[in-house]
Amino acid sequence: MKKQSFIIRYSAPLFFALSLFSSGAVQSEPVDSEQREQQRELFKKAEYAAKRGRLNEYRQLLQKLDDYPLVPYLELTRLEQVGYLANEDRVLAFLEKYDNTPLDWQLRQPWLTYLAGQEEHARFIRDFRHPGTLTHRCQFIEAQRKKGLGEGPFRRQVDAIWEHGFSLPSACDPILKEWEKLDGRTDAKIWNRLQLAAEHGNPTLLPYLTGLLPELQQYLGEFYHKVRYSPAAIEDNAWFKGRYPAKEAEITTFALTKLIWRDENIALRSYKKLSPQLPFTKEQEEQIAEEFAVALSLKSHPEARVWHDRVPVNALNERVLQWRLAIYLKDKDYEGLRDTIQSLPVAIRQGNQWRYWLARTQEITGNALVAQQLYDDLSDERHYYGFLASARLQKPVSLEHEKLEVSVVQLEQVRNHPSVQRAYELIQLERWVDARREWNHLLTQLDGEEQKVAAYLASEWGWHDQAIWTLAQIGHFDAVGIRFPLAYKDILGRASQAAGIDQNWALAITRRESNFRHDAYSSAGARGLMQILPGTAKQLDTKNNSWRRLNDPSVNVRLGTHYLSRLKHRFENNWLLATASYNAGYYRVREWLPEEPVYADEWVETIPYHETRDYVKAVLSYQQIYRMLGGNEDNLFEQVVDMTIVETE
């Protein structure tokens, strides 16, 4: 395994700067750490005083804080409370100084709301910044109109507001009413918004928009509303009045792409019946073919290949191709898969997945020498398919990573950036949301080389999720030591040992779930390092599992490793199936198990959920990387290539 190093380039005049470093590592904490800690305590007291209007106490504390990086947040707190016209100069000075930073918008939004409420149109126009909230955008247009905005520009700006598939805020009502009087609301614009609401927005908006259509067109809005909830309604001939066949075709296309997932037999029958009588466009035919091909593949329907053949080459995408691959693998048609891959456009055929499966099908169909060359080309690459190829050749795995090079000057420049200083202090105060806002703003101010330095700093701080994310944003994937930190190693090690599972597996799961962000949370309610759902936590531990408790690394990791152990046991020690279950759920994975044995690499490609499919590939790859970072050169994927998946009792 190649060892990663961190190289500092310097010239003689800069040699003195090396005192700031220890073995190449940046000293993140200020020189006088005790003084800085005192400032943090003073900051919290000053903030408390500001929020409660204790001005004398606040001013005294403010004087003691001197150049503390978070002093602007104290001024923000104060201005949020007294940001009226009497303090306009202070507000404007603050907005100018921190323009386009997280501090800016936290004051600008309430300031604009205040100005709109006072009908201070000139000031509102002066202080508004695009894009702003939808409410403020509408108020901005209204203010401009009252200050003489011409009819043409006014209509164009309101056109953009109208084109939303969701209900608009009440602040938009005045400009919409005037826009309507100026004949801005045409039938075509109503139809476009109705289509947005039906297919991508809020369907409860459909009755309102339907009522705005001319009477002869209103059946179309009612038809859209009907199929939004019940796509099988296209079986009712009464909806096809023939007045607007192109629009009826639009609605039917939408309905068919929904219906194929609910009832493929009705969808196929309806398409066969309606295709001759509706003027489907080429794009609509391609949309239907794509959705039918994918849905029928997932359902193992005998007509799946027929619909795949109807998707033109120029319309192929990752989703269609994935399920084309799955069909051939399920049918054990390796010759057909080989020929299909060879017929793909070069740009697609050179993808890692297709290179591997071309090698695999060449191997299965007897072309061993061709397969070996293809495997060899892949085997030096650091990804799921590269690791599989290495295993098939029984050769050592390569991490293939580069050295990260930054200069002392770059390190000092980035470290002294105000956003870096503020982000660091916010981390120390455990104000993670504000810290991430500062960091995201920082990245917009840095070039690619500087962002590498920023990622290194974040890693040194133990802010691993931001270090990983920053490198991903700039496409720098070769700093393996930063992208795969041994974060929370002691906690994960103890918990893994207690649960009887591989520590590298737990590290890989944690890396995939949260990038080691201890306060991570998902829309489904999962929390913490290993993304534990409250329901799962309750099954594992009867204690009160509040979100704060689930964010505690030791609690979260104990529950997560215990759950992994339970899943592995339920799948007769098959950790690959347990990995899939950790993402998709135990009973769902049981439904995916085949009746006859299937090789693991083939089974992974046929997992119905793309999220779980990608999850399994990522976790296996991360587990291999962590094994090697820990000094274990064995290829985990040798177990994968020999593994078969089959339904168990």
520-565: pLDDT as tens digits: 999 889 999 999 999 999 999 877 778 889 999 999 999 999 999 9
Q: What is the pLDDT of residue 543?
A: 76
Range of the domain at 463: 408-477
Q: Cα–Cα–Cα angle for 579, 585, 587, nearest 5°?
A: 115
Give the pLDDT band (50/70/90) at residue 50.
Answer: very high
Judge if 571 and 630 occupy the same domain. yes
The residue out of 116, 143, 175 marking a domain boundary is 175
Please give the radius of gyration of the chain, using alpha carbons only, rounded to the nearest integer. 30
Residue 69 has pLDDT above 50, yes or no: yes
Q: Can you tell me the mean pLDDT for 353-372?
A: 97
The domain that holds 417 is classified in CATH as 1.10.1240
Judge if 493 and 638 occupy the same domain. yes
3-state secondary structure of 26: strand
- Residue 560 located in a structural domain: yes
Q: Which helix (H) or strand (E) holds 564?
A: helix 553-570
The alpha carbon of 97 is separated from its chain's Cα centroid by a whole number of angstroms, namely 32
Judge if 599 and 641 occupy the same domain. yes
How far is Cα 550 from Cα 565, in angstroms, rounded to an integer?
18
The CB-based long-range contact list for 381-386 (8 Å cut-off, 24+ gap) reads 381/352, 382/477, 382/480, 382/621, 382/625, 383/352, 383/621, 384/352, 384/617, 384/618, 384/620, 384/621, 385/352, 385/353, 385/355, 385/356, 386/352
The residue out of 421, 455, 477 marking a domain boundary is 477
Contact 492, 503 (CB under 8 A): yes
Which amino acid, 339? Answer: D
Q: What is the pLDDT of residue 399?
A: 83
- pTM comes to 0.90
Q: Which residue has the higher pLDDT, 82 or 499?
A: 499
Judge if 431 and 535 occupy the same domain. no
Which amino acid, 233? Answer: A
How far is Cα 207 from Cα 399, in angstroms, rounded to an integer?
58
Q: What is the pLDDT of residue 17?
A: 28
Q: What is the pLDDT of residue 541?
A: 82
Which amino acid, 648? Answer: T
Residue 1 has pLDDT above 90, yes or no: no
Q: Which structure tokens are listed for 50?
A: 């500001």
- Residue 446 located in a structural domain: yes
The residue out of 425, 456, 477 marking a domain boundary is 477
Give the pLDDT band (50/70/90) at residue 57.
Answer: very high
Judge if 463 and 543 occupy the same domain. no
Judge if 472 and 592 occupy the same domain. no
- Residue 136 located in a structural domain: yes
Percentage of residues in the chain having pLDDT higher than 90: 86
Judge if 462 and 502 occupy the same domain. no
Question: Considering only CA atoms, which of 560, 612, 609, 610 is closest in space to residue 583?
Answer: 612
Looking at the chain, how many residues does it have? 649
Q: What is the pLDDT of residue 403?
A: 65
285-302 confidence digits (pLDDT tens): 999 999 999 999 999 999
The CB-based long-range contact list for 378-386 (8 Å cut-off, 24+ gap) reads 378/352, 381/352, 382/477, 382/480, 382/621, 382/625, 383/352, 383/621, 384/352, 384/617, 384/618, 384/620, 384/621, 385/352, 385/353, 385/355, 385/356, 386/352
- Residue 180 located in a structural domain: no
Residue 30 has pLDDT above 80, yes or no: no
Task: Indicate the number of domains in the chain.
Answer: 3
Contact 576, 616 (CB under 8 A): yes
- Residue 103 located in a structural domain: yes
The domain that holds 496 is classified in CATH as 1.10.530.10
How far is Cα 416 from Cα 217, in angstroms, rounded to an integer?
63
Bridge partners of 51, per DSSP, are none
Q: What is the pLDDT of residue 649?
A: 67
Q: How would you write 379-441 as a 3-class SS string? A: HCCCCHHHHHHHHHHCCCCCCCCCCEEEEHHHHHHHHCCHHHHHHHHHHHCCCHHHHHHHHHH
Q: Can you tell me the mean pLDDT for 345-368?
A: 96
Judge if 516 and 453 occupy the same domain. no
Cβ contacts of 319 within 8 Å, gap of 6 or more = 290, 294, 610
Q: Which helix (H) or strand (E) holds 296?
A: helix 282-298
Sign, Cα dihedral of 274, 240, 185, 142:
negative
Judge if 43 and 169 occupy the same domain. yes
The domain that holds 65 is classified in CATH as 1.25.20.10
Dihedrals φ, ψ of 314, to 5°? -70, -10
Q: What is the mean pLDDT of the chain?
A: 92
364-403 confidence digits (pLDDT tens): 999 999 999 999 999 999 999 999 999 999 999 888 766 6
- Residue 538 located in a structural domain: yes
Judge if 499 and 568 occupy the same domain. yes
Judge if 423 and 530 occupy the same domain. no
- Residue 611 located in a structural domain: yes
**If you search the block for the tokens 């940046």, which residue do you land on?**
26
DSSP 313-328: GGG--HHHHHHHHHHH
Q: Which residues are catalytic?
A: 513
Percentage of residues in the chain having pLDDT higher than 70: 94
The alpha carbon of 626 is separated from its chain's Cα centroid by a whole number of angstroms, namely 23
427-451 confidence digits (pLDDT tens): 999 999 999 999 999 999 999 889 9
Q: Cα–Cα–Cα angle for 107, 111, 112, nearest 5°?
A: 120
Give the pLDDT band (50/70/90) at residue 179.
Answer: very high
Q: Cα–Cα–Cα angle for 607, 609, 611, nearest 5°?
A: 110
Judge if 463 and 495 occupy the same domain. no
Q: Peptide bond preceding 131: is omega within 30 degrees of 0, i.e. cis?
A: yes
Q: What is the pLDDT of residue 27?
A: 39
